Amino acid sequence: MVRYSKDTDNIVTLSLNMKGRTVNVINHEIGQAFLPVLEHLKMEKARGGLRGVILTSDKKTFLSGGDLEYLLNAEDAEEVFSFTETLKKFLRDLESPGVPVVAAINGSALGTGFEVALACHHRIVIDDPRIRLGHPEVNLGLMPGGGGVIRLMWLLGIEKAYTILTSGHRYSPQEAMRVGIIDDLAKNRKEMLEKAKTWLLENKEGRRPWDREHESIPGGTAKKASVAATIRNFSAQLAKLTHHNYPAPQAILNVLFEGSKVDFDTACKIEGRYYTSLVLSKATKNMIKTFWFDYNAIKSGENRPKGFGKFRPRKVGVIGAGMMGSGIAFACLRQGLHVVLKDVSYLIAERAREYVRKKLDELLEIGFIQEEDKIETLSRIKTTESSKEFEDCDLVIEAVFENKMVKQKVTREAEEFLDEYSLFASNTVSIPITQLATASVRPENYVGLHFFHPADEIPLVEIVKGEETSDETIARAFDFVNAIHKVPIIVKDDWGFYAARVQNTYILEGITMLQEGYPPALIENLGQKAGMPKGALALADDLGLELVLKYENQAAVHYGNKYIQHPAVAVLHKMLKELERPGRQKRAGFFAYHEGAERTIWPELTEHFPPADQEYDHEAIKERLLFAQVIEAVWCMQEKVIRSVPAANLGSVYGWGFPAFRGGVIQFVNDYGLDAFMAKCKAYEQTYGPRFKVPSFLRKLL
């Protein structure tokens, strides 16, 4: 658990090595293991036999976060608060043996693991760009609970601490050095330990700033008028950004505000109370469930076809040097793959190289990579106008214009040079994979890989299985998506696949409300207050009203004589045919577009769809916009378009921006309550029509 060694200079090295785990984690077990060690250190100090302590790890990582299963199931506030008090005591004992302690960080230290590093007097990290450091807890609806907020505040000041804690960013060593959360870098483990010992020999004082008289928080406390004004500005920005749907950032701000006015230990108690309230909140439970447990279920291959060996891609071909193709290429290059990028001419293909170079320069500037990494990455991309360069590619992905004939043409050209084991993938967003695969000489090797824009940033990829796509091809596609550190969800080759199909219901419901006499600004604002990244009308404009209508027409074909036309279809026809406002691309849709200014709702929209003189139930509007998506997602599960609850949840959050604090479309029902959800759907069905009918599958699902 904790390996203890002492050298002739009376410097003790404590090496963490939890048995039976691939990484060290903070839980009751490690806390108990440290108790006798800390007591021994105090005795060593008392008899003058301790000069300093080095804390490091025998594993590849330094120390990971806390026990998320415990946090997901925790319901007792007193128990959670007691747990934070135990953790804080452990960290206070670590930083207060009366001698300096150095964290020699040989691998990633995140969350509670980084709190341990913050409790040390000095932090040295191996300068490996793969190492990640910091406090990403806000991404799970959490915040540090062991004094991490207060320590960062005392080290950096309120403003810097707030930015670090609410960004959820995982810092590279270079970045961490730049923002001030570590103190030094080392080339390797040997130099790290040498630097740690040198620092200990040169620094005898082991008291932290918050334990010394006449020390103060950098920049001042919230008692200072200018600091209080800054905090108020942060609070206003948060309200605008999150609509009060995400409690963690506001809790962090409250802790900084209140904690800056009191002594360190009292401030830590304040932090513990806010931490406890977050752990017990619905939003946090939802986010832990989806972004930790569902995420790991998918990444571990829960839905991957069984019985096939792991596919390890080396070289990937990409057809199309536009934003999508360039983004796919960059995502592959970042994970060490070789890329051949083809377009109609070499000069056009070279645009992708420039895109990659620009993205690498951004990473270089913030310390995520070194100059040699940039050079090496650029050496792995080859641009061409000839399909012959695909000869030794394991996989080729086409990301060309959304046109069936064009896509089939580039498929035939590429497959001429691929061997029988290579895969061919289409990045289509609306054309069935089964139709496109008719151009392939090996349709069993043909698969859909639907990336989302921007491809190098959005973590989701839909793997679309055509009628003839083999299970082995799906397994290999799954491994490829995992290899480029994306989230793979396997979907059926149905209209709109999964993400676009369900997203369309949000758009259609918003358009229907316009027809019903709801003011367009109200529809847009309440969509965002419900947690969606954009209002339904703005999203319709961005996608293009023709595509929105196309998906609904595909639904009509899919359901045949069972299809019931959505009320929004009439509005779409009027906008497209009569008003000739197809969306953003033509700079005319539900919104008006102005040169050099933000778009605004088209002033004449209310003339064609006049608002009704009535009271508007804001909660009902938000619920309709969300319920429409949830119900369609359940239909997708009943029709086996999507294979699992984790895939449905993560696909909804990453794919089209379903509110993260709800945990995704299926977790939404868990959070709302199954019986309450079904009762409300029945009421909406009676008022608004059969689109709110709940599939019978829902009760089997939960």
Q: How many CB atoms lie within 10 A of CB 638?
A: 15
287 inside domain: no
Q: Are both 259 and 358 inside the same structural domain? A: no
Range 394-407 average pLDDT: 96
Q: Are both 356 and 503 inside the same structural domain? A: no
Q: Are both 26 and 112 inside the same structural domain? A: yes
Q: Are both 504 and 450 inside the same structural domain? A: no
Boundary residue ending a domain (280, 305, 335): 280
Structural domain containing residue 670: 499-701
Task: Give the lowest-confidence range in 57-61, 102-106, 305-309, 648-652.
Answer: 57-61
Q: What is the pTM of this model?
A: 0.92
Q: Are both 270 and 376 inside the same structural domain? A: no
Q: Are both 345 and 404 inside the same structural domain? A: yes
293 inside domain: no
Q: Are both 122 and 191 inside the same structural domain? A: yes
The whole-number pLDDT of residue 37 equals: 79
- The tens digit of pLDDT for each residue in 358-370 reads 999 999 888 888 8
Q: How far apart are CA 418 and CA 139, in angstroms?
A: 42
**Coil, strand or helix at 594:** coil
Please choose, from the candidates 410, 464, 470, 465, the residue with its C-alpha nearest in 3D space to the C-alpha of residue 440: 410
Q: Number of folded domains in the chain?
A: 3
The whole-number pLDDT of residue 30 equals: 60
The whole-number pLDDT of residue 468 equals: 97
- The tens digit of pLDDT for each residue in 45-74 reads 888 888 999 999 988 888 877 788 889 999
Could you give the residue numbers annotated as active site? Answer: 115, 137
Q: Are both 480 and 504 inside the same structural domain? A: no
Boundary residue ending a domain (228, 256, 280): 280
- The tens digit of pLDDT for each residue in 546-563 reads 999 999 999 999 999 999
pLDDT band, residue 32 (cuts 50/70/90) = low
Range 567-589 average pLDDT: 97
Distances (CA, A) of 577 to 504, 580, 588: 20, 5, 13
Q: Are strands 315-319 and 133-134 parallel, antiparallel or unpaired?
A: unpaired
E runs forming strands in 162-294: 184-186
Q: Are both 221 and 273 inside the same structural domain? A: yes
Task: Give the lowest-confidence range in 64-68, 408-412, 450-454, 494-498.
Answer: 64-68
Q: How far apart are CA 549 and CA 538, in angstroms?
A: 15
- The tens digit of pLDDT for each residue in 261-306 reads 999 999 999 999 999 999 999 999 999 999 999 999 999 999 999 9
